């Protein structure tokens, strides 16, 4: 009976406080930071046990290794939820009444809060070890993402387009795996080659084709975008355009890398 009582009390605390509408964005943000810490520590624990190369890495390399484990966990979570909400949930369906740009739910807001928590945690680590975890282009990418996600989380505006952009996080695990294999001395392995090809395909779909679809969708729903506040209106155009430009530059580098790797295999 006592177990059931405490379980009921815990559920009420979560429902009435952590997931209550007014505090949902802030509680989900804190949960996101906490989950990042868990993912970071879990990566450290598993890597120390299963990967022989891990103890021989420098301190900065171990921090980056753990950081990439954390970013992969976030990427898998946010890209999975984004794909579900954009393509398999009817919340953003054109068949429903009202502007698609003003729709949101507790679940969609909570998920964005978790993502905001991740970007804050990752930015702190970037500044702490700058430029070891990424140069100014990565800082710009994270700042733009953080501002856009935080705004749509707090306002409820433009969540559809935010989730479309967040699908691009599906490329992060492949990018991190490439770094893991390289750091572990497996750059000449078949796994490295296969992952490189998967990264190329994932990038082409999630960061090139999907952005083209996003701009197409924005064009046909421009009358609904006009109903957003001016700051949200600016963000919904500015952020995808800047990120798409960065994606094209990085895609060119990936393409050169794939060609170079395939040439060596001949």
Per-residue pLDDT of the chain (266 residues; tens, 9 = 90+): 555 544 454 444 444 444 446 788 899 999 999 999 999 999 999 999 999 999 999 999 999 999 999 999 999 999 999 999 999 999 999 999 999 999 999 999 999 999 999 999 999 999 999 998 988 989 999 999 999 999 999 999 999 999 999 999 999 999 999 999 999 999 889 999 899 999 999 999 999 999 999 999 999 999 999 999 999 999 999 999 999 999 999 999 998 888 887 777 66
Report pLDDT for 223: 96
Which pairs with CB-CB distance under 8 Å and at least 24 residues apart come from 247-253?
247/168, 247/203, 247/207, 247/208, 247/211, 248/208, 250/203, 250/207, 251/203, 251/204, 251/207, 251/208
Burial of 3 (0-12, 13-18, 19+ CB in 10 A): exposed
Contact 133, 67 (CB under 8 A): yes
- Between CA 146 and CA 115 the distance in angstroms is 8
pTM of this structure: 0.89
């Amino acid at each position: 009976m006592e177990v059931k009582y405490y379980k009921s009390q815990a559920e009420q605390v979560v429902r009435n406080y952590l997931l209550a509408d007014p505090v949902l964005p802030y509680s989900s943000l804190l949960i996101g930071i906490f989950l990042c810490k868990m993912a970071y520590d879990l990566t450290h624990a598993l890597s120390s046990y299963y990967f022989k190369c891990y103890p021989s890495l420098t301190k900065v390399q171990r921090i980056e290794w753990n950081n990439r484990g954390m970013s992969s966990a976030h990427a898998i979570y946010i890209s999975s939820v984004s794909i579900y909400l954009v393509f398999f949930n009817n919340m953003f369906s054109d068949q429903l009444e009202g502007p698609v740009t003003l729709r949101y739910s507790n679940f969609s807001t909570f998920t964005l809060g978790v993502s905001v928590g991740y970007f804050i945690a990752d930015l702190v680590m970037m500044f702490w070890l700058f430029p070891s975890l990424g140069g100014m282009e990565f800082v710009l990418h994270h700042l733009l993402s953080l501002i856009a996600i935080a705004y749509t989380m707090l306002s409820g505006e433009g969540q559809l387009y935010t989730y479309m952009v967040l699908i691009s996080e599906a490329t992060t695990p492949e990018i991190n795996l490439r770094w893991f294999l390289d750091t572990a001395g497996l750059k000449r392995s078949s796994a490295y080659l296969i992952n490189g090809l998967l990264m190329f395909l994932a990038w082409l779909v999630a960061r090139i084709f999907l952005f083209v679809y996003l701009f197409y969708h924005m064009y046909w729903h421009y009358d609904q975008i006009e109903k957003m506040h001016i700051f949200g209106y600016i963000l919904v155009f500015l952020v995808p355009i800047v990120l798409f430009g960065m994606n094209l530059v990085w895609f060119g580098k990936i393409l050169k890398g794939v060609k170079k790797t395939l040439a060596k295999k001949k």
